Amino acid sequence: MAANRTRRLQKEISDILKDSHSGITVTSPSGSTEITDFTHFKGHFRGPPDTPYERGEYDIDIKITPEYPFKPPEMRFITKIWHPNVSSQTGAICLDTLGNAWSPVLTLKSALISLQSLLSSPEPKDPQDAEVASMLLTRPEEFQHVAREWAQKYAGAPVPAPGSGKTGGGGSGGDDEASLQNKKKLEDKERKRAEDRRRREAYHGYNPAMIDRFTSMGFQVEQVVSAFEYIGIDKADGEEYELEEEYIGDVTARLFGEIRAIGAGGNDFMGQMNASATALVSFYDM
């Protein structure tokens, strides 16, 4: 079975290498055309024309399962891309061809062509990345800008010359300046989104204001989150709510116990912490 699979893959890759017009290539993970491991490849294609991804160069990680070709290869984007059907964090792909619609008659080449076509025809109603899908559905112009900027930043797509009209300007100096200002705004938004994602991850789904009431006492975010999770504080889908006094006591006791365990600070520090705990209970009672 393994020998049959290898022979089939050898033929598939040979066919890909012979077809110079498709723009699809498959190499070893290191980029060599001398392939000895037929369980792990790197696919490559160029972003299709008339899309934000135009002329970007996209690499795809390809892993062959033991059940291939009766089950699809495992594929993910190595190159970061802003697309509703691809995770902007992990490169995971939502595509029927790589799931329920897979058939043994399909090949690595047809799968990569389907991925390339996905860049021309995104499906925001069946997303892999909800944030990107929401932007495409509600703010399509902003989506186009961010997708193009990611193509330029991560996929090496060329940056249009000033006045070319590719970035939404009409060719005048004023339009070029407006495009630069718009680009800066989008970059600021992207940074804020990244910061918000990191913040949400750090708080493990808890409302930040609830955690920060304890961090104001001198504890670290991860300490408070750990205490909340240990005690079983409800995350309430990230909504803020008033903690019962019993829970406040449990959290502070847990936090002080951790500090004693690591021998931090001595009696003066513990006195300050106890005073802070009293203030926190008073805050919730207000």
For residue 26, tell me if it sits in a domain.
Answer: yes
| Boundary (domain end) residue, out of 178, 202, 226 | 202
CA distances from 47 to 117, 143, 246 (A): 9, 16, 57
For residue 60, tell me if it sits in a domain.
Answer: yes
The residues with which 76 forms a beta bridge, in sequence order, are 61, 92
Smallest CA-to-CA distance from 269 within 219, 212, 201, 204 is with 219
Taking 90 as the threshold, does the pLDDT of residue 95 lie above it?
yes
CB 47 within 8 Å of CB 58? yes
Q: Which two tokens stand for residue 127?
A: 């997303």
Contacts of 130 (CB under 8 A, 6+ apart): none
Q: Which two tokens stand for residue 247?
A: 């829970």
Counting Cα atoms < 13 Å in the Cβ hemisphere of 6 gives 7
- Report percent pLDDT > 70 for the chain: 80
pLDDT tens digits, one per residue of 112-139: 999 999 999 999 998 999 999 999 999 9
**What's the rounded Cα separation, in Å, for the pair 207 and 241?**
9
Q: Are residues 187 and 214 in the same domain?
A: no
Q: Are residues 198 and 208 in the same domain?
A: no
Helices in 155-220 by DSSP H: which ranges? 173-203, 208-215
Taking 80 as the threshold, does the pLDDT of residue 160 lie above it?
no
Smallest CA-to-CA distance from 9 within 63, 50, 59 is with 63
List the catalytic residues: 94
Domain that holds residue 180: 163-202
CATH code assigned at 7: 3.10.110.10
Q: Are residues 15 and 104 in the same domain?
A: yes
Q: What is the dihedral of CA 212, 217, 223, 227, to 10 degrees?
A: -80
What confidence category does residue 219 fall into, taking pLDDT thresholds of 50, 70 and 90? confident
Q: Which residue has the higher pLDDT, 241 or 266?
A: 241
* Residue 266, pLDDT score: 44
- 3-state SS assignment for residue 30: coil
* Residue 170, pLDDT score: 39
Q: Are residues 85 and 110 in the same domain?
A: yes
Number of domains in the chain: 3
For residue 185, tell me if it sits in a domain.
Answer: yes
For residue 64, tell me if it sits in a domain.
Answer: yes
For residue 144, tell me if it sits in a domain.
Answer: no
Counting Cα atoms < 13 Å in the Cβ hemisphere of 184 gives 5
* Residue 146, pLDDT score: 95
Q: Are residues 172 and 96 in the same domain?
A: no
Q: Are residues 180 and 221 in the same domain?
A: no
pTM over 0.75: no
Q: Are residues 232 and 195 in the same domain?
A: no
For residue 226, tell me if it sits in a domain.
Answer: yes
Contacts of 244 (CB under 8 A, 6+ apart): none
Taking 90 as the threshold, does the pLDDT of residue 274 lie above it?
no
